């Protein structure tokens, strides 16, 4: 992998550094972005993904999944009160939250892999910030008109037209934001049962709080903050460059073909007519012709804008394209010296290679993905559904019985993550002579106490272990409680200690 050669970045608003004048304030005021509407292949793909993402978000809580009586029948549900997380056939308990962590780790590695292959596709197409901002911009455009109309409107604030159009826009935005916050709470409460209670004011304060929180954040982030979230708030743009290399597909301007810029009919100029269509459609307000920039979210709308202009000028499309930096450098090397025209275009395009998808970086990501998937799958298959917690009484540490025997008491918590009722015999592995009884428990034919579970719950038992008088034991003796199932297999074993006076 060679060093990345990125075109030098020139930001129009960046102040010139000069030693003589005192440093300008470090605060840069936001320049409002007015993205122009655009049609094309990338835009269609984005609409499609937007619809799919929103459809997923709004319909998933409505999917039903039968888990039997007394169990929620929502397929995807985070039940905070009962402390259960349901995902179709999967149900996890709070102490198993590492499965969720594993899923997030998978998501992170997947993001790294996708970025090293195709650049910031997550940012440009599927990130909720992008999806909702796109939706909000659609509303804004429908009500206030396209770029120029919106800019004109903002020049005359507090006129009748301004108030009506702005008011309507914000009302619709708030409506969408409320629907977003409303759907969010459906993931934490039964959607079908919660919705009527929500609208009749019978839901809990918690529900209304989170509804308000997500309504407010959606409205602020997608309506007001927009590209500032990507540029200033999100950590991802800061380190995503570490996943990119010269073989990643990124949104690029083919400078070797476009430069020098000039009028369409001028002689000796490149394909770029400097119409600034690419700048006008950009949702983050940057100029892709300045090269790779942190602000670029890789949405590719400038590709559509430029393709449209090139088609109208009857020039081949692809002056701005998803392209690897390696190809860009190869084209530059081959065609950069040629005079502008069809020959330079053909020469530059000819030397391009199919992007190398299999490379050390992507293989490492694929390996890491496979490893985490295997670890999670293994952990899931070996998941223990029965648990036995042994809590030794600390007050009193031990009890001296009237015959001189020593007794320890334990609280046993038997957890069962399955919907059925199981029965286990409890065996004590301890020095000979120690005697185990469990209060209120039945006995099996061999005389061992039988503990029964509660479906998807915990049963509690009190066990008394007694050392008869005269049994010489050290101060602390390790003991192990074992749950033995009907087939004689040890389901769980938990260790504890038996304490007595100093010998």
Partner 1 sequence: MPTKIEKDSVTGRETTGHEWDGLKELNTPLPRWWLYLFYATIVFAVVWMILYPALPVTGLHGVTGWTARGAIGPELEAERAKQEPMLARLRAATPAAIAADPELRNFALAGGRIAFANNCAACHGAGGQGAAGGFPTLADDDWLYGGSFEDIHFTITHGVRNGEDPEARGIAMPRFLADGILKPDQVGDVTDYVLSLSGQAADAAAAGRGEALFAENCVACHGEKGEGNREMGAPRLSDQVWLYGGDRASVLRSVSFAHAGVMPAWGKRLDPAIINMLTVYVHALGGGE
Distance CA 278, CA 353 (A): 26
Cβ atoms 115, 240 nearer than 8 A: yes
Site map (CB under 8 A) of partner 1, residues 316-335, x = contact? --------------------
Kindly write down the DSSP assignment for every residue of 426-447, as one continuous string: EEEE-STT-EEEETT-EE-TTS
Q: Is the peptide bond before 260 cis (omega within 30 degrees of 0)?
A: yes
> Which is closer to partner 1, CB of 369 or CB of 390?
390
With binding defined as CB under 8 A, does residue 16 bind partner 1?
no
> Which is closer to partner 1, CB of 325 or CB of 479?
479
CB of 428 to partner 1, least distance (A): 17
DSSP 8-state symbol, 240: G
CB of 401 to partner 1, least distance (A): 5
CB of 456 to partner 1, least distance (A): 19
Kindly write down the DSSP assignment for every residue of 51-109, as one continuous string: HHHHHHHHHGGG-B----TTS--BSEEEETTTTEEEETTEEE-GGGTHHHHHHHHHHHH
Distance CA 257, CA 331 (A): 9
Stretch that binds partner 1, among 308-316, 418-426, 462-470, 484-492 (CB under 8 A): 462-470
Residue ranges in 72-101 that form contacts with partner 1 under rule CB under 8 A: none
Q: Which helix (H) or strand (E) holds 341?
A: none
Cβ atoms within 10 Å, residue 402: 6
> Which is closer to partner 1, CB of 172 or CB of 463?
463
Distance CA 222, CA 226 (A): 5
CB of 470 to partner 1, least distance (A): 11
Residue ranges in 423-452 that form contacts with partner 1 under rule CB under 8 A: 439
Site map (CB under 8 A) of partner 1, residues 405-424, x = contact? --x-x---------------
> Which is closer to partner 1, CB of 260 or CB of 433?
433
Question: What separation in angstroms does the CA of 213 have from each of 127, 177, 292?
Answer: 19, 10, 35
Residue ranges in 268-307 that form contacts with partner 1 under rule CB under 8 A: none
Residue ranges in 141-160 that form contacts with partner 1 under rule CB under 8 A: none
> Which is closer to partner 1, CB of 279 or CB of 438?
438
With vertex at residue 357, the alpha carbon angle to CA 347 and CA 320, rounded to the nearest 5 degrees, is: 45
> Which is closer to partner 1, CB of 17 or CB of 358?
17
Distance CA 170, CA 162 (A): 12
CB of 467 to partner 1, least distance (A): 13
Choice from 404, 420, 457, 501 touching partner 1 (CB under 8 A): 404
Number of residues that bind partner 1 (CB under 8 A): 21
Residue ranges in 469-488 that form contacts with partner 1 under rule CB under 8 A: 469
With binding defined as CB under 8 A, does residue 28 bind partner 1?
no
CB of 28 to partner 1, least distance (A): 14
DSSP 8-state symbol, 273: -
Q: Which candidate, 215, 266, 299, 284, places its Cα nearest to that of 40? A: 299
Choice from 166, 261, 392, 462 touching partner 1 (CB under 8 A): 462
Q: Show Cβ contacts of residue 270 under 8 Å, excluding neighbours closer than 6 positions.
A: 257, 258, 259, 260, 261, 262, 340
> Which is closer to partner 1, CB of 394 or CB of 487?
394
> Which is closer to partner 1, CB of 362 or CB of 453?
453
> Which is closer to partner 1, CB of 75 or CB of 437?
437
> Which is closer to partner 1, CB of 46 or CB of 407?
407
Distance CA 342, CA 364 (A): 41
3-state secondary structure of 251: strand
Stretch that binds partner 1, among 20-28, 168-176, 292-300, 353-361 (CB under 8 A): 20-28
> Is the Cα torsion angle 101, 104, 110, 116 positive or negative in sign?
negative
CB of 402 to partner 1, least distance (A): 4
Residue ranges in 120-139 that form contacts with partner 1 under rule CB under 8 A: none
CB of 437 to partner 1, least distance (A): 10
CB of 261 to partner 1, least distance (A): 36
Cα distance between the two ends of the chain? 71
CB of 415 to partner 1, least distance (A): 18
Residue showing tokens 């409303």: 182
> Which is closer to partner 1, CB of 118 or CB of 461?
461
**Residue 325 Cα to chain centre, angstroms:** 28
Q: Which candidate, 428, 437, 432, 503, places its Cα nearest to that of 472? A: 503
Q: Which candidate, 119, 173, 134, places its Cα nearest to that of 54? A: 134
With binding defined as CB under 8 A, does residue 454 bind partner 1?
no
Cβ atoms 226, 218 nearer than 8 A: no
Residue 293, both tokens: 């920039």
> Which is closer to partner 1, CB of 80 or CB of 399?
399
> Which is closer to partner 1, CB of 235 or CB of 470?
470
Residue ranges in 384-403 that form contacts with partner 1 under rule CB under 8 A: 393-397, 399-403
**Contact positions toward partner 1, by CB under 8 A?**
22-25, 393-397, 399-404, 407, 409, 439, 462, 464, 469
């Amino acid at each position: 992998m060679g060093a990345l050669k990125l075109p030098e970045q020139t930001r129009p608003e960046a102040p010139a550094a000069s030693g003589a004048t005192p440093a300008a304030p470090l605060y840069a005021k936001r320049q409002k972005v007015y993205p122009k509407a655009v049609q094309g292949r990338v835009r269609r793909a984005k609409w499609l993904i937007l619809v799919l993402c929103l459809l997923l978000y709004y319909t998933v809580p409505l999917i039903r999944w039968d888990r039997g009586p007394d169990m929620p029948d929502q397929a995807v549900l985070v039940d905070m009160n009962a402390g259960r997380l349901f995902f179709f056939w999967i149900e996890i308990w709070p102490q198993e939250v590492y499965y969720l962590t594993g899923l997030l780790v998978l998501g992170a590695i997947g993001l790294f892999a996708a970025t090293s292959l195709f650049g910031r596709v997550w940012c440009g197409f599927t990130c909720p910030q992008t999806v909702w901002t796109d939706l909000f911009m659609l509303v804004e455009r429908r009500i206030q008109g396209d770029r120029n109309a919106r800019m004109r409107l903002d020049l005359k604030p507090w006129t009748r037209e301004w108030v009506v159009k702005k008011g309507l826009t914000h009302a619709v935005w708030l409506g969408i934001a409320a629907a977003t916050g409303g759907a969010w709470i459906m993931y934490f409460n039964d959607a079908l049962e919660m919705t009527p209670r929500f609208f009749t004011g019978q839901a809990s304060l918690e529900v209304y709080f989170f509804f308000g929180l997500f309504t407010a954040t959606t409205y602020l982030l997608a309506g007001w903050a927009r590209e500032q979230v990507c540029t200033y708030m999100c950590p991802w743009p800061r380190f995503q460059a570490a996943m990119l290399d010269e073989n990643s597909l990124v949104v690029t301007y083919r400078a070797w073909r476009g430069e020098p810029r000039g009028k369409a009919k001028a002689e000796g100029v490149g394909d770029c007519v400097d119409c600034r269509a690419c700048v006008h459609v950009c949702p983050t307000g940057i100029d892709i012709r300045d090269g790779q920039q942190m602000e670029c979210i890789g949405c590719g709308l400038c590709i559509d804008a430029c393709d449209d202009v090139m088609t109208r000028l009857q020039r081949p499309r692809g002056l701005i394209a998803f392209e690897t930096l390696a190809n860009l450098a190869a084209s530059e090397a081959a065609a950069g010296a040629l005079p502008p025209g069809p020959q330079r275009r053909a020469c530059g395009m000819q030397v391009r290679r199919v992007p190398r998808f299999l490379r050390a970086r992507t293989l490492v990501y694929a390996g890491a993905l496979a490893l985490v998937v295997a670890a999670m799958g293994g952990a899931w298959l070996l998941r223990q559904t029965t648990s036995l917690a042994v809590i030794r009484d600390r007050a009193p540490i031990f009890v001296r019985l009237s015959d001189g025997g020593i007794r320890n008491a334990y609280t046993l918590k038997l957890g069962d993550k399955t919907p059925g009722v199981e029965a286990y015999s409890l065996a004590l592995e301890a020095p000979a002579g120690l005697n185990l009884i469990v209060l209120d428990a039945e006995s099996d034919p061999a005389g061992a106490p039988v503990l029964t579970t509660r479906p998807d719950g915990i049963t509690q038992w009190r066990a008394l272990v007694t050392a008869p008088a005269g049994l010489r034991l050290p101060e602390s003796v390790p003991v192990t409680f074992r749950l033995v199932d009907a087939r004689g297999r040890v389901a769980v074993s938990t260790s504890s200690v038996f304490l007595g006076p100093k010998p």
